[in-house]
Amino acid sequence: MTAIESKSPKKKPADSVKDQKAEGRSRASVPLLFGSWFLPGFGHWRLGKKRRAGVFAAVIFCAFITGVFLHGEIGTPKPESPFSWLAAFACLGNGILAIGRLVWLNGLGGLLGGFPFALQGGGSPAAAGFAYGNTFLYTAGLMNLLAVLDVSDIARGEKD
């Protein structure tokens, strides 16, 4: 260790937090991020980005509805298929749309009682549009999750 290094004062964790806040790198609020996930477009609307909020909400809603009409399946975890968790994660990104669809298919009691392995995701594997519908549902969910990350960036002042 050099003489210069030994004399330099150590930074405390509190100093690090102060530095982050000074640089605009504080955390986004959890309710804002939750609302942004639950209701597509809500986070941007709350932050004053109303045009972006409207476009994101419309795009995610259109993609989700297209997926449902093409007989796509809301991803649900299956014990014999580990990758089904990824599909479930992507679909749950749709927030209230995915939860509403699961309630529609399972009923509220079935949703609460059947979580996680006994849920019905709907869809029809025999339908011609099944794979296309799934793609639309996954895409909509992942776009909403990207929108949540965007809300986080905007709230922390790292993006306009």
Partner 1 sequence: MDHLLLMVWHALLVSVFFAFLWRSTAIGRRNLFLKTFLIMVVGAAALGWLMFPFP
| Per-residue binder mask for partner 1 (CB under 8 A), 131-160, x = binder | -x--xx--x---x--xx--x---------x
Q: Which candidate, 67, 82, 43, 57, places its Cα nearest to that of 127?
A: 67
Residue from 33, 39, 59, 105 in contact with partner 1 (CB under 8 A): 59
Instruction: Give the x-and-dash track for 114-133 against partner 1 (CB under 8 A).
Output: --------------xx--x-
Q: What distances in angstroms separate CA 59 from CA 53, 56, 63, 92, 97, one per listed residue?
A: 10, 5, 6, 16, 13
Say how far apart CA 138 and CA 91 lie, in whole Å.
5
| Residue 98 tokens, joined | 């995915």
17 vs 131, beta carbon nearer partner 1? 131
Go through 22-34 and write b for each residue having 16 or more CB atoms within 10 A of its CB, e for each that does not: eeeeeebeeebbe
For residues 66 and 106, which CB has a smaller minimum distance to partner 1 in the complex? 66
**Rule CB under 8 A: is residue 56 a binding residue for partner 1?**
yes
**Binding site residues, partner 1, CB under 8 A:** 52, 55-56, 59-60, 62-63, 66, 70, 128-129, 132, 135-136, 139, 143, 146-147, 150, 160
